[in-house]
Chain A
Amino acid sequence: MTTPHTAPPAAAAAVPETPVAAKPSLSFRLDPAARKVRRTELWLLLLGMAMVAGYLAAVEANMLDTVTMDFWYPAGVLTAVFLGLHVVIRLRAPFADPVLIPVVALLNGFGVAFLRRLDLGRADADARPDLAIFAGDGGKQLLWTLIAVTGAAALLWVVRDHREISKFAWTLGFGGIILVLLPAVLPGSVSEVNGAKLWIRFGSFFAIQPGEFAKLMLLAFFAYYLVRKREVLALASRRVLGIDFPRGRDLGPVIVVWAMSLLVLVFEKDLGTSLLYFGMFVVTLYVATERVSWLIIGLILFFGGAVLAYVLAGIVGGPFTNFGQRVDIWLDPFAEPYDRGYQLVQSLLGLGTGGLFGTGPGAGSPLEVPEVRNDFIFAGMGEEIGLFGLTALLALYLLVVSRGLRAALAVRDSFGKLLAGGLAFTLGLQVFVIIGGISKLIPLTGQTTPFLSAGGSSLVANWLLVALLLRISDAARTPASTGGVRR
């Protein structure tokens, strides 16, 4: 690592067969295979950014009746930011998956563009052409994108091998639990937004959702713990009805996580986060042990807990009331369409108005949907891009998840496998929870839509998640001959 990257490339080119090239130093001279992969990534990224620019132009055409040159600025800033990340990847993870960054960048860019479109909708008709680039929700999201991508690049730069993370597993696990429980014990004035106690607010402008980061920390700990315990959990078991069930004492950690997620459900009034934590743990457990019984136990515990909470909401109320109400709205949103069911009814009407092809970028009225910039962003988009557009977005999420699982399959160590599998699954589960919620498949819970929703914590945490996946996929795809083992 001592070779300075300022070494003249001509010297290396003159003697191509010297071992200089074999040194994994900081250099732009990539392995031919890696260069091909990175070139693919670059083209996909530029294609995605061109689409974001096209969308912004189409929005202006619809809303301003003309296309000003302003639409270039957000697209240009986004492209510059992602190109920066691309360069970091070239230097620090040359073999990483070429698909992850372009797909996530497109989702992120599309989110920024849609938020800007909402800002245009809120502004007066004659003030619209003057909307500054960093103004409003769209501008804020653009700034957060800058921060999030910088964070991801920093993670890739600092963590050279994902196995290093396992050294801090206990610290991360402990920190994660503290972050999860912190909002529950803080006073409501600091932690409560829209009925869910998930936040830590600093003043009126800046708020973070510690749970988003706790998610990643807990996953790292789960992966580490299960690699250590997988033999015991997989082998010591009793056979009941043809399915192997684990011994009672091995269930301990599962029960602890289950209790923790129930506490989140009750005291932070958030079904989505609690489902996310618990699902995350059960699936990592399943991946580690290859035992279907864990999935069965997990599903029974979760649904049992949710039904119990609903029943308790009817009998004792108190902390369970919020959850009970959400289930009632889900069962029949049209019972009180202008009152409690308003959000969900407007979301369903928005999706219905969009139909198959949508009304076109900027031609709908997504502002009719409450909270359209956070929880309901998918419904707002659905009105303008229709079922065809939403399906494409869902396909993009599916591709990210599948690439994460692919990295998990290919990486050579158990910790990396569990971590990548868990990260990919968590992302997929979060998309399912929120999009299932806004389309009335499951009770609505206040989750963010990864990469699309306005919200800094979620964006930063999800970009860190992508950085980890990139790091693991790089380890998985580096050929053994170019120093596949790095400590």
Chain B
Amino acid sequence: MPEIVLTAARFGFLVLLWIFVFTVVGVIRRDLFAGSRTGRLVAAPRGVAGAAQAGDARPAKVKKGRAAHTLVVTAGSLAGTKITLGEAPITIGRAEDSTLVITDDYASARHARLVPRDGQWMVEDLGSTNGTYLDRSKVGGPTPVPLGVPIRIGRTSLELRP
């Protein structure tokens, strides 16, 4: 074998190895930002919370392209968990078959439910012992959830993100 081929093989293999590493890093990078389009990393304005506090008189407007796509746990033992939202309702509670199983002493087995209605997600308390809170107001019947407003269940906080 001519020397040049061996040298090419020697360095070529190292180059390929690193190309593989960087390809994988690229895949991971795309994966991390998957489902987030431009500007997604900016949290929704907190001011929207006012609408929820004022009550149901004025249902929060859903602008085009501002629909919720993920549910993020921001506090509690599951902090960091992300759920990609689809069409199906999300159940939250200690029961094993909930979509989001929270191990929290202040949560009930079937605590609350998030249901989509015409692109707007509604939160509904399922008769929990300690209640569900949207920002600071207690949730009774189905209440629209604006983006970025925390839903509090026991020690756990959830937010809808675009």
Interface check A481, CB cutoff 8 A: yes
Across the interface, do A410 and B10 meet the contact criterion of CB distance under 8 Å?
no
Across the interface, do A479 and B96 meet the contact criterion of CB distance under 8 Å?
no
Across the interface, do A412 and B99 meet the contact criterion of CB distance under 8 Å?
yes
A483 nearest CB across to chain B (Å): 8
Stretch at the interface among A70-78, A252-260, A309-317, A385-393: A385-393
User: Known contacts A51-B16, A99-B27; is A61 also within 8 Å of B9 by CB?
Assistant: yes
Closest Cβ neighbor of A228 among chain B residues: B103
- Type the 1/0 row for A444-487, where 1 means its CB is closer than 8 Å to any CB of B: 00000000000000000000000000000000000111111101
Interface check B13, CB cutoff 8 A: yes
Closest Cβ neighbor of A63 among chain B residues: B1
- Number of residues of chain A lying within 8 A (CB) of chain B: 54
Across the interface, do B17 and A412 meet the contact criterion of CB distance under 8 Å?
no
Interface check A361, CB cutoff 8 A: yes
B71 CB contacts on chain A under 8 angstroms: 480
CA distance A51 to B71 in the complex (A): 40
Across the interface, do A487 and B99 meet the contact criterion of CB distance under 8 Å?
no
Across the interface, do B81 and A360 meet the contact criterion of CB distance under 8 Å?
no
Across the interface, do B24 and A480 meet the contact criterion of CB distance under 8 Å?
no
Interface check A121, CB cutoff 8 A: no
B16 CB contacts on chain A under 8 angstroms: 51, 54
B24 CB contacts on chain A under 8 angstroms: 44, 99, 102-103, 396, 399
A399 nearest CB across to chain B (Å): 6
Interface check B74, CB cutoff 8 A: no
Interface check A291, CB cutoff 8 A: no
Interface check A302, CB cutoff 8 A: no
Across the interface, do B96 and A163 meet the contact criterion of CB distance under 8 Å?
yes
User: Known contacts A40-B27, A479-B84, A485-B99; is A58 also within 8 Å of B78 by CB?
Assistant: no
User: Known contacts A360-B10, A409-B80; is A482 also within 8 Å of B21 by CB?
Assistant: no
Across the interface, do B105 and A231 meet the contact criterion of CB distance under 8 Å?
yes
List CB contacts (< 8 Å) of A320-372 with chain B.
357-361, 363
CA distance A480 to B31 in the complex (A): 17
- Number of residues of chain B lying within 8 A (CB) of chain A: 42
Across the interface, do A399 and B28 meet the contact criterion of CB distance under 8 Å?
yes
User: Known contacts A65-B1, A481-B88; is A392 also within 8 Å of B17 by CB?
Assistant: yes
A54 CB contacts on chain B under 8 angstroms: 9, 12-13, 16
- Type the 1/0 row for B98-113, where 1 means its CB is closer than 8 Å to any CB of A: 1111010100000000
B29 nearest CB across to chain A (Å): 11
B74 nearest CB across to chain A (Å): 13
Across the interface, do B86 and A481 meet the contact criterion of CB distance under 8 Å?
yes
CA distance A47 to B13 in the complex (A): 12
CA distance A358 to B7 in the complex (A): 11
B103 nearest CB across to chain A (Å): 5
List CB contacts (< 8 Å) of B1-57 with chain A.
1, 5-7, 9-14, 16-18, 20-21, 23-25, 27-28, 31
Closest Cβ neighbor of B98 among chain A residues: A485
Interface check B85, CB cutoff 8 A: yes
CA distance A388 to B16 in the complex (A): 11
Across the interface, do A392 and B80 meet the contact criterion of CB distance under 8 Å?
no
Across the interface, do A480 and B84 meet the contact criterion of CB distance under 8 Å?
yes
A64 nearest CB across to chain B (Å): 9
Across the interface, do A480 and B96 meet the contact criterion of CB distance under 8 Å?
no
Interface check A48, CB cutoff 8 A: yes
Q: Contact check: which of B13, B87, B101 meets A51 at CB < 8 Å?
A: B13
Across the interface, do A485 and B97 meet the contact criterion of CB distance under 8 Å?
yes
A57 CB contacts on chain B under 8 angstroms: 9
- Type the 1/0 row for B65-82, where 1 means its CB is closer than 8 Å to any CB of A: 000000100000110111
A411 nearest CB across to chain B (Å): 7
Across the interface, do A385 and B13 meet the contact criterion of CB distance under 8 Å?
yes
CA distance A450 to B86 in the complex (A): 38
Interface check B90, CB cutoff 8 A: yes
Across the interface, do A357 and B10 meet the contact criterion of CB distance under 8 Å?
yes
Across the interface, do A363 and B90 meet the contact criterion of CB distance under 8 Å?
no
A-B contact pairs, 11 of them (CB 8 A): A40-B27, A44-B23, A47-B23, A51-B20, A231-B105, A357-B11, A388-B18, A412-B78, A414-B77, A417-B78, A483-B88
Chain A residues with a Cβ under 8 A of chain B: 40, 44, 47-48, 51, 54-55, 57-58, 61-62, 65-66, 98-99, 102-103, 106, 163, 227, 230-231, 357-361, 363, 385-386, 388-389, 392-393, 395-396, 399, 402-403, 409-414, 417, 479-485, 487
Known: A395-B21, A414-B78. 13 other contacts (CB 8 A): A44-B24, A54-B12, A61-B6, A62-B1, A99-B24, A99-B27, A99-B28, A99-B31, A103-B24, A399-B21, A414-B103, A480-B99, A485-B98
